[in-house]
């Protein structure tokens, strides 16, 4: 603000409760006070390179859509790239996950663009568009008006409000998204191994109720499952020894993942962190299937010290106070549920 005194801006602190999602509650006052139509929603732990906003606005309003997809661009987003300041194992595994497997799939899905796939670390969209959607994901009627409440407040009942907003713009307005050339540098905090595991469990359970078919296919995009399938197939068809297939498979897999890292970072994996990174990468690959199998058979999640039950439509409701012995073991001692009913 001091650097650009001529710009009309101010800091708004405080929330307005419209649902269970604290991020949406925190955004509401700023959302309503915004002077201009284009909104840039960026997390507090995300940094970007100079010029990112200008390039993103140009992608949103300045560029012409390609001939293959003449649909209007309603949202611009950025690939998250993890930056760690802590050396704990959970932080390192999260870094390895975001900068290889997650980035690889995120870019691939958005390149194919058959369905909305957006992570809300850094998003640009128009408030006028958001005011026309109601999270039903049903195409807009000829009248151009969706029934019921519309706008940001209706997304406060979802944990994954970012994906729901993107999906609403995609399906209800019939628009598309654009993945910017810039990255969102996501600073990962102090995460233990359990923090990482429960974070993955939470989002798998949320995705299960939002995009079930895609979630069920996730194990078949993982290196361990594919290596077993590849080894069994090559042995049956060509008589190739499994150990040869597995070694070749993981060599190529590591090469692709490190190439994704280098493409996003702008440089190869630094030698100073090579072994720590690869150890975390191996742990991520080995943990992926066990975490998935545990997560897929449950619907309760813990988020910011609160327990919720994910409903079939992707919304969440406060979970009952009864807990299993395992949940009681993991529950923080200072657990203090708040009343989120409106």
φ, ψ dihedrals at 204, nearest 5°? -65, -45
Residues 6+ apart with CB under 8 A from 237: none
- Closest to 19 (Cα-Cα) out of 149, 212, 117, 169: 149
195 is catalytic: no
Return the exposure string of 95-119: e unless at least 16 CB atoms fall within 10 Å of the residue's CB, then b: bbbbbbbbbbebbebbeebeebbbb
Dihedral pair phi/psi, residue 123, rounded to 5°: -130, 145
**Out of 37, 43, 129, 162, which one is annotated catalytic?**
162
- How many Å apart are CA 99 and CA 281, to the nearest integer? 10
Q: Angle of helix 89-96 relative to helix 193-208, nearest 10 degrees? A: 40
Residue 181 backbone phi and psi in degrees, to 5: -75, -15
193: tokens are: 């191994």
Angle between helices 193-208 and 274-296 (to 10 degrees): 40
Q: Nearest to residue 318, comparing CAs of 293, 299, 298?
A: 299
List active site positions: 162
């Amino acid at each position: 603000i001091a650097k650009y005194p001529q710009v009309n801006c101010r800091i708004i602190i405080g929330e307005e409760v419209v649902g269970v999602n604290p991020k949406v509650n925190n955004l509401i006052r700023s959302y309503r006070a915004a002077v201009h139509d284009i909104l840039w929603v960026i997390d507090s732990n995300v940094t970007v390179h100079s010029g990112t906003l200008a390039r993103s606005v140009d992608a949103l309003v300045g560029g012409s859509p390609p001939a293959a997809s003449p649909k209007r661009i309603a949202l611009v987003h950025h690939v998250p790239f993890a930056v760690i300041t802590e050396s704990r194992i959970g932080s390192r595994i999260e870094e390895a996950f975001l900068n290889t497997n997650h980035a690889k799939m995120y870019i691939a899905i958005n390149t194919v663009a058959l369905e909305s796939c957006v992570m809300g670390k850094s998003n640009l969209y128009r408030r006028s568009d958001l005011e026309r959607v109601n999270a039903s994901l049903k195409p807009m009627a000829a009248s151009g008006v969706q029934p019921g409440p519309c706008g940001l407040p209706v997304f406060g009942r979802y944990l994954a409000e970012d994906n729901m907003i993107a999906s609403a713009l995609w399906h209800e307005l019939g628009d598309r998204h654009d993945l910017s050339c810039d990255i969102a540098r996501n600073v990962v905090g102090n995460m233990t191994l359990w923090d990482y595991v429960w974070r993955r469990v939470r989002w798998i359970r949320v995705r299960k109720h939002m995009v079930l078919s895609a979630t069920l296919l996730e194990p078949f995009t993982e290196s361990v499952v594919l290596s077993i399938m590849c080894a069994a197939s090559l042995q049956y068809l060509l008589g190739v020894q499994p150990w040869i297939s597995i070694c070749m498979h993981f060599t190529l897999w590591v090469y692709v993942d490190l190439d994704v890292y280098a493409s996003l970072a702008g440089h190869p994996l630094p030698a100073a962190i090579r072994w720590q990174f690869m150890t975390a990468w191996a742990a991520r690959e080995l943990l992926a299937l066990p975490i998935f199998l545990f997560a897929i058979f449950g619907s309760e999640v813990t988020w910011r010290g609160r327990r919720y039950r994910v409903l079939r439509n992707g919304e969440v409701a406060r979970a009952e106070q009864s807990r299993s012995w395992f949940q009681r073991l993991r529950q923080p001692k200072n657990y203090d549920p708040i009343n989120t009913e409106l």
